[in-house]
Chains A and B, each alone.
Chain A
């Protein structure tokens, strides 16, 4: 009970004992006295008799004052909290959310020694612990470590009774053992856990300490906004009992009053390193991309070095593009590529090549002025095979005949000498090629091609979806056998399935109508959708095929005879997930757009032609507009894409290069650059109309599915519905299309390049495929570090069965590097693994590398101001219960008692007066 009223009840007993001290001193003084033989006893007796009562009263008062003084000091030291209901039985709850993510490795030198922001965080927590131990022994401390949230069933430690020395030391030991992790975990997850504790101890006054580096990346943007919103909501909802103290641990410490952005250190990091394919054939070139970000404010010059971690040897023969030393522009991403050929295929698990790249100074030493060292190295893995197997499932039993789908696909793939090993489904399962999809080893194929497949069984579909989800690539070619209803219902499944779009019930033109006629054109018959990807991104597949748009000329002659139309009305196109890579030109009649053309010519066109300032362009503009109007006349049979091309010609007309013809043919791009409102309005209307009339039916679509990719072409792979494979000018582009399609799809698996601790990794297998064996996964970690990677065996993983699927949950990895998971039979552990799964984990440089701190103003506006009473930055890390011992009244009373005691003591002459030594004491006068 006393401990509830007093913060330091121990001192109370000491104070109680001390109160008796003045009495004891008094008694001792009475016992210890001098003896004086005295003559004037008469006067002494008389004086004593006369002053006895007053003296006794005064001395008792003095004694009482001194006892009171000690009692007050006792209250002060024992920290009297008070007896109100608010205090009794309610110890405080302190929740510490400790950011120990990768960015807290931010290292600087302090007094010659390296120090990171987690060192500061540890000190801050120790201060809190000390504060609790000294002043609030009944308070609870909950320590939520962000990196630990990745552990399964993580329960934060709750520390109680910290006044006990042993307990306090144990906490301090725990805190001392905390090191910066290599992971990224959102503070939001910790906040949710903190909320659970706040609910659990709902009646308890609480303090939430958020100790971290408060980086701009973590506290702004979509994720940061949610975090801030949640925090502010939490603060405002619990105004009465919650204090939130954000503590910034980066040096220099944040001083929010100063405004601006607190200084942060520069950092460069490799944010991505991956091959462009998951499986590579022997001697095939594989391109590795190294993406580097300079998060700092200064240009950095560095050299890249690759290392074969299997042998532990640096690969000095690698030619980086751009070559070393590489300049990293501040705030920009630099992509460095290099090509490598694996010239040998090793047996067993070693066919998983294990590579790393690291950043060094141009002198090949450690990188200078770089705050984080952990993001300067990154690992990747690629599976090397004699040949890359590609699985083709052709719905047509005669598909391998000349001119058919499989024929063209195989021919294209094997035209790369010794690279691809084309496997046909019907070779393994004659008559039912799709049954191959029920096998457990689909992951050996970087790409599976479905051509003219009618439908799949649910099991086959589920397996294919699992395969794709785990990083496989699927190409789908349509054909007359395709069951549109099944495709829509199961394959598309309202956007949740593998197929990227819903299709119409029948192909176009329908079987009872004749095929589309070949129309030689001066414009492409297939429109590459650059507009879907913006200026700085290549269109997948086609971007590689046509590095320059002028190479697209063969597409002018690409007869598409039949195809499946996408049902745009039902299409829920998910942005960022589904893309149109190529679209057929809009074959509708241009005159359908006559109203739009008429309106823009009448309103904007006429106004411009009436503007004398633009007279120079009037003639040419009029010519262009007349031509456009001609296209949409009632008797015109022009197609919509031709109208689009005409509009495009107007928008890009650069006039005549000859100066003498410049008056007749002025540069219309200058005209469009004019800031006149009417010009801008006309330009906008023309661009909209062009976009509207240009694109027809989607022809090549792509979709991300889990870690994998899907590409669908709406016509056949062979010559049944188009002449792409052969017989047209565009045929020369067919093989490159298939290669790039294969490359694009096989690059999907490289998403197995994971971020440490970021997500659950599991391997899912079809239970039927595992019949007869007792599967388990044996895990190995390849610990790299300058010598041949050390093999560290991790625990075995046993599956759980869920709806006929075996699920092997893999532990979250917090160490970056290559992890191999061998699927073996428990009954025959010495046999070669049935399959091997490789996962590479790397640090999340993209999220953790930017050390720029949240500006003081942002922090004030978004965090402090909206919850001013609850959230506050403070040097005093411990928000304490208000105590009477902190009350100014107690100090005033103490002061008054002290003054009264001194005054009385002086009055009673128990203290030497100033003049006593001067002989000026009272003297009887004769």
Chain B
């Protein structure tokens, strides 16, 4: 991640500071995703062909099974056959916009980072013609954008993210219940949150989602400061979501704090593991492609799993 990027490397735009300078969220998503899919992975997404629409130029990373060998044999050029097909993926992005997400010391705070991740995924999915929906929440579900695969659906999603300003206290169990109610079909649920919630309630909510046979991917967003607690000097820490305040010397507390956070992360990670949730802790200091890479790995695994399960049937 930290290795230097050359001028030609498309990933250079994935640097969070660079992305932060892009004011428009959609553009940020485009930049992130375009750079990503054209440089790193072959796309795992392909739908069942129904009607041939057109050829397009082969791009490295495309599945060679979709090459039109006939055209190649005639023209000696690689073309990909494209079909109009309905997507077989519904993805529901669940983004935490509570007040705790407001914290951040880097170029992006947790909310911005989560929004960027959500926008990027939406853009990528829509680009793959998958259906993407968005649910934002704080102490309740704030915005619900139903899943659609239309290209212009991205605007709705971005708009929902944009207008959603973090506020109030997270109440996760109720929210996840509402989320579960808002996702009727089996979907892939990408949850982006700092999980500063009651873990029992959180896992109970997750349990409900799992009952709906949703495939859940958890992006645990935390600010780097929240992991390392790098403060010095007497400091008054005021709760973003409540009246609590602590005056302390952060250096004296650091060790204890880090231990508590480790315990917390272990708890979350183990809980997710037990529930069969794919879990990824992401620091706001990390590059955005960490989230996208994780997502793609998950999608690939998901794609392989139905294939295996479907092959006998």
Contact = CB atoms under 8 A, between A and B. Distances in A.
Contact of B258 (A29, A32, A923): A923
A34 B246 contact: no
A439 B231 CA distance: 113
Contacts of A771: none
B227 A44 contact: no
Contact of A37 (B110, B240, B254): B240
Interface string A37-58: 1111111111110110001001
A44 B234 contact: no
B63 interface: no
Given A35-B235, A38-B240, A921 B260 contact: no
A47 B259 contact: yes
Interface residues of A, number: 34
A921 B103 contact: no
Scoring A30, A47, A925 by chain B CB atoms within 10 A of each residue's CB, the highest score goes to A47
Given A33-B234, A912-B232, A41 B253 contact: no
A33 B235 contact: yes
Interface residues of B, number: 48
B86 interface: no
Nearest to B259: A47
Interface in B219-277: 220, 222-223, 226-228, 230-242, 244, 246-249, 251-262, 264-265, 269
A910 B220 contact: no
Contacts of B262: 924-925
Contact of B235 (A34, A40, A43, A921): A34
A41 B244 contact: yes
Contacts of B265: 924-926
Contacts of A48: 246, 248, 253, 256
A43 B257 contact: yes
A39 B223 contact: yes
Contacts, number: 129
B203 interface: no
Contacts of B240: 37-39, 41
Contacts of B194: 39
A35 B230 contact: no
B103 A51 contact: no
Interface in A905-926: 908-910, 912, 921-926
Contacts of A924: 227-228, 258, 261-262, 264-265
The secondary-structure label for the interface of chain A is mixed
B196 interface: yes
B82 interface: no
Interface string B202-232: 0000000000000000001011001110111
B237 A44 contact: yes
Given A38-B240, A926-B265, A29 B248 contact: no
A889 B237 CA distance: 45
Contacts of B281: 926
B97 to A, nearest CB: 13
Contacts of B252: 51, 55, 58-59, 908-910
A777 B149 CA distance: 141
A383 B259 CA distance: 114
A39 B113 CA distance: 15
A34 B237 CA distance: 8
B171 interface: no
Given A30-B234, A37-B103, A922 B255 contact: yes
Interface string A777-820: 00000000000000000000000000000000000000000000
Contacts of A922: 228, 254-255, 258
Contacts of A59: 252
Interface string B42-73: 00000000000000000000000000000000
A30 B223 CA distance: 27
B264 A41 contact: no
A911 to B, nearest CB: 9
B166 to A, nearest CB: 10
25 contacts: A33-B236, A34-B233, A34-B234, A36-B237, A37-B103, A38-B103, A38-B238, A38-B239, A39-B194, A39-B241, A41-B241, A41-B244, A43-B260, A43-B261, A45-B244, A47-B256, A47-B259, A48-B253, A922-B254, A923-B227, A923-B228, A923-B258, A924-B262, A926-B220, A926-B265
Given A34-B231, A41-B242, A910-B251, 7 more contacts: A33-B236, A41-B241, A41-B246, A42-B264, A43-B264, A910-B249, A924-B261
Interface of B: 99-103, 110, 194, 196, 220, 222-223, 226-228, 230-242, 244, 246-249, 251-262, 264-265, 269, 281
